[in-house]
């Protein structure tokens, strides 16, 4: 069965200036991701994983190469164009959750829908919170929630708009093993349930192993691109 390509990196490079001269963080990276795939970006600290994620999501621009996300070349879009594309097609989960401290759980989940101008934001957000098991905590502020609960809210926020691609940056990095495991489970459930493409950056081998494909990075370059056992069970 052929699936549509939803994300493509073509000869991506990112160079920044440093006191010691130009520094290449991402070096000539190319790969494609089809719809419904789950990809893990792994590698040691400083390998360039998070920078690559930022480039793929259009949060930053490459110095060379091109990213095509949901059929749109990101380089051809201005900042607002990329923002619109994210609003329509992309979800995000971060290591440090990034919930707005002044909003309640349900308001945090409503935010992307409100930005997209949806009228049913509250209803959809409440439904999503129920799916992540936090219906009872909807009126709580982030500071009143545990780390795991905060990440579940973040997950609900990332999924509520039914994104084409869900990016996750070390989603379990700030959580203990048991909580991390529950979050991972939830992440893959949501991914399977809505045919969302998942791109996640992780240190954890166990989490990587649950993805269909693992891309290994070192010193900014892609060193390995292998399918996993999970890929077969997934497909």
**Separation in Å, CA 223 to CA 49, 147, 199:** 12, 33, 17
Give least dist CB 226 to another protein, A.
26
Q: How far is the CB of 176 from another protein (least distance, A)?
A: 13
- Residue from 29, 43, 104, 198 touching another protein (CB under 8 A): that is 104
Structure tokens at 209: 């192993």
- Which is nearer to another protein, 36 or 112 (by Cβ)? 112
Strands, sheet with 21-34, edge to edge from the N-terminal-most edge strand: 21-34, 5-18, 64-69, 72-73
Task: Give the closest residue to 99 by CA, choosing from 109, 90, 84.
Answer: 109
Of 5, 64, 68, 115, the one binding another protein by CB under 8 A: 115
Q: Is 43 or 58 the residue whose CB approaches another protein more closely? A: 58
Say how far residue 58 (Cα) sits from the centre of its chain. 12
Q: Is 83 in the site for another protein (CB under 8 A)?
A: yes
CA distance 228 to 208: 9
For residues 38 and 67, give the distance between their C-alpha atoms in angstroms, rounded to a whole number: 18
Question: Minimum distance from CB of 98 to another protein (Å)?
Answer: 5
* Near another protein by CB under 8 A: residue from 102, 178, 232, 233: 102
Contact assessment for residue 166 and residue 158, using Cβ atoms and an 8 Å cutoff: yes
Q: Measured from the CB atom, is 16 or 235 closer to another protein?
A: 16
Smallest Cα–Cα separation from 168: which of 143, 186, 194, 147?
186
Question: Does residue 120 bind another protein (CB under 8 A)?
Answer: no
SS3 50: helix
The verdict on 100 binding another protein (CB under 8 A) reads yes
Interface mask (CB under 8 A) for another protein, residues 32-71, using x and -? ------------------x--xx--xxxx-----------
Work out how close the CB of 57 gets to another protein at its nearest, in angstroms, rounded to a whole number. Answer: 8
Taking residue 151's Cβ as centre, other Cβ atoms within 10 Å add up to: 30
87 interacts with another protein by CB under 8 A: yes
Residues for the chain: how many in total?
Answer: 235
| Cα 154 to the center of its chain, rounded Å | 11
- 13 touching another protein, by CB under 8 A: no
- Contacts with another protein by CB under 8 A lie at 50, 53-54, 57-60, 79-80, 83-88, 90, 92, 94, 98, 100-104, 107, 111-112, 114-117, 141, 143, 147, 157, 169
């Amino acid at each position: 069965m052929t699936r549509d390509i939803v994300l493509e990196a073509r000869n991506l490079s990112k160079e920044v200036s440093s006191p010691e001269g130009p520094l290449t963080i991402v070096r000539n990276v190319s790969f494609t991701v089809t719809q419904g795939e789950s990809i893990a970006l792994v590698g040691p600290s400083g390998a360039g994983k998070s920078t690559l994620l930022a480039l793929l999501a259009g949060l930053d621009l490459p110095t060379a190469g091109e990213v095509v996300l949901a059929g749109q070349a990101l380089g051809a879009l201005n900042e607002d164009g990329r923002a619109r594309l994210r609003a329509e097609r992309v979800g995000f989960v971060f290591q440090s959750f990034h919930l707005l401290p002044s909003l309640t759980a349900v308001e945090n989940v409503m935010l992307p829908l409100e930005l997209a101008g949806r009228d049913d934001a509250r209803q959809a957000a409440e439904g999503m919170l129920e799916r992540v098991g936090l219906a009872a905590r909807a009126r709580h502020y982030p500071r009143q929630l545990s780390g795991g609960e905060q990440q579940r809210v973040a997950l609900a926020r990332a999924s509520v708009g039914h994104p084409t691609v869900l990016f996750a940056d070390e989603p379990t990095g700030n959580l203990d093993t048991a909580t991390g495991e529950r979050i991972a489970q939830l992440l893959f459930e949501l991914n399977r349930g809505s045919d969302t493409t998942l791109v996640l950056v992780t240190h954890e081998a166990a989490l990587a192993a649950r993805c269909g494909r693992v891309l290994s990075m070192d010193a900014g370059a892609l060193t390995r691109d292998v399918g996993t056992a999970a890929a077969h069970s997934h497909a």
